[in-house]
Amino acid sequence: MTGRLDGKSALVTGAASGFGAAIAKAFAREGARVVIMDLDEDGGQRVAGEIGAAAASLKGDVTRREDFERAVAEATRNGGRLDILVNNAGWTHRNKPLEEVTEDEFDRVYAINVKSIYHSVQASLPVFSAQGSGVILNIGSTAGLRPRPGLTWYNGSKGAVNMLSRSLAVELSPRGIRVNAIAPVMGATALLESFMGLPDTPENRAKFIATIPLGRLSEPDDVAGACLYLASDEARFVTGVILEVDGGRTI
């Protein structure tokens, strides 16, 4: 541990597993106090237990403003302030022809991937504004930069995340709030089969990996490392960036 986040307090959504769990653990290792917000209550508590005294977990739905308000209050109480908000929770419809995506699937993708950012910003802005500082990190996707067939509506949601991050950066910078996005390539998470639209077999993975110059899927620690840099004071002059963590996929 080098203490890059000493004295800071963070709220990370969707941190019961995958990218979010790795982000929460990396932040805690670098000195931050972390609150995990996830619908998976047992998973959130497990990750918090693995982190130790620096972490707390609460069950929360990112599509509900009141859950974000509760989480922001808990993170502020837990750390004495709120310095970092990571909007990591995300969802996708299964890879399939666009006309086969139901309205319910469409609504769920946009509620979790896009409207959650609206809720989180509205809930955290009073705290950040009063402090005169804050960092918001939104987990976008290479899908919002280099779209793939079969994921049209998901691609659009992540394009919105990318643009929202840049627009928020411009509007909130006078208040001392930095906003950036991380755009990972597909990783071996619970959503992998949905992204591929195929069973997760070595053969199907190999087909996708062949499109990534560095020759592998993203891993949770790849995303956590990018978030750690953008959340730290080392990135104090970095805002409005979409950082591609993709092994060269979008080149």
Q: Report the catalytic residues.
A: 154
Asked if 113 and 105 count as a contact pair (C-beta separation under 8 A), the reply is: no
Q: What angle separates helix 152-172 from helix 103-110, to the nearest 10 degrees?
A: 30
Which of these, 67, 220, 132, lies nearest to 245 by C-alpha position? Answer: 220
Give the CA distances from residue 223 to residues 138, 144, 213, 219, in Å, rounded to whole numbers and listed in that order. Answer: 11, 16, 17, 7
Cα distance between residue 140 and residue 133, in whole Å: 22
* CA 211/CA 223 separation, integer angstroms: 19
Q: Do residues 187 and 247 make contact, with C-beta atoms less than 8 angstroms apart? A: no
The two structure tokens encoding residue 59: 């069950």
Asked whether 179 and 136 are in contact (CB, 8 A), the reply is yes
- DSSP-derived letter for residue 31 is T
